Amino acid sequence: MITIKMKKDFSIMAPQNVSRLLGGLLFMMATPSLAQTPPPNNAVVVGGSAPALCWSAPGANWTQNGTSAGNFSAGTGFAGGATVVVPQNQLVDSDKRAALTFGSLGAVRMRFAVTCNSPVEAKLSAQYGRLQNTSAPSLPPGMPANRTATTSATFENYYPYQIEYGFVNTLTGATPPSASQKVNGTTGYSNPQNGATADGLPPNWSPVSSGGSWFNIKRVDVRIDLDPPPVVSGSTLRPVMIAGSYSDRLTLTLTPSL
């Protein structure tokens, strides 16, 4: 009876025992393998982002770059901009006709030193794209412009200009080949708009890139060449400049190009 009982118990308990034994074996086998797995660790990733920035030295202002036509004065800081006033006697002669001839006035040159920690694009935009007589934005009636008439008494209310701007590396003095771009009017002075679009709207000048991998302190140079007002083809008479204040407002925007 004892033997039979044992067999019976064994047969009944066997599945459970085997199961438990297997579980135990698995556990026991798993223990050494646990020791072989990498030890527990906790990885901490530390990080952040440095934004693309441009900044200038404290107190930095626009400066005149060498000899500049007109009287140069700078505002405070980058946003302060700069103002160049061309004397009236350089703009018109005693007959109030445009006094400028090609190259007679020279260029207005200004610059601003900036530091950017990423490649950037510089873009100049203008309110008018020409020196506009803000007192007489439209020609008064009876004052035909040389743009539309061939009479001797022609009038004009703006001066065109060409513009060139780009980046200069102030550390090396080198100008990256792609970082200086002459914008608009590079083929000469035959274009009567010469800055402004045909309908007198502000120009949309192309941005200038500082270069994709060019990290350094940079200087933005702006050069403006004032042109004589256009003369009707076949005529040598310069227009009479309508009295008033001639000006334009330029805005330089630096944008990260990453």
Partner 1 sequence: MNAFTIIGWACGLVTLLVSTGIQAQEAIPNTVSQLRVGGSAPGVCRIASPTTLSSDNAVFDTRSVNSGQVTITQLANPVNGIARASQISLSFAAVCNVAHSMTIRSLSGGVTRAEGPVAGAFSDRIDYDVEARWAGASVSRRYTGASGVLVIPVADGAAGTLELSLQTIGGGSPLASGRYFEEVIVELAAAS
Residues found near partner 1 in the complex (CB under 8 A):
24, 27-28, 31-32, 34-35, 39-53, 55, 115, 117-118, 171, 215-217, 256, 258
Q: Which is nearer to partner 1, 15 or 40 (CB)?
A: 40
Q: Which is nearer to partner 1, 25 or 153 (CB)?
A: 25
- In terms of Cα–Cα distance, which of 228, 224, 242 is closest to 84? 224
Report the nearest approach of partner 1 to the CB of residue 27 (Å): 8
Q: Which is nearer to partner 1, 119 or 202 (CB)?
A: 119
| The residue to which tokens 């009944």 are assigned | 12
Report the nearest approach of partner 1 to the CB of residue 209 (Å): 15
Report the nearest approach of partner 1 to the CB of residue 111 (Å): 19
In angstroms and rounded to an integer, the radius of gyration of the C-alpha atoms of the chain is 38
Compute CA distances 206 → 45, 107, 122, 164, 165, whole Å. Answer: 42, 20, 9, 11, 10
Q: Which is nearer to partner 1, 176 or 200 (CB)?
A: 176
User: Taking a C-beta distance cutoff of 8 angstroms, is the pair 121, 106 a contact?
Assistant: no
Report the nearest approach of partner 1 to the CB of residue 21 (Å): 12
Q: φ, ψ for residue 154 (rounded to 5)?
A: -105, 155
Q: Which is nearer to partner 1, 43 or 198 (CB)?
A: 43
Report the nearest approach of partner 1 to the CB of residue 52 (Å): 4
Q: Strand 217-226 to strand 107-116: parallel, antiparallel, or no bridges (unpaired)?
A: antiparallel
Residue 7 C-alpha from the chain's centroid: 92
Which residues on neighbouring strands pair with residue 182, listed in sequence order? 164
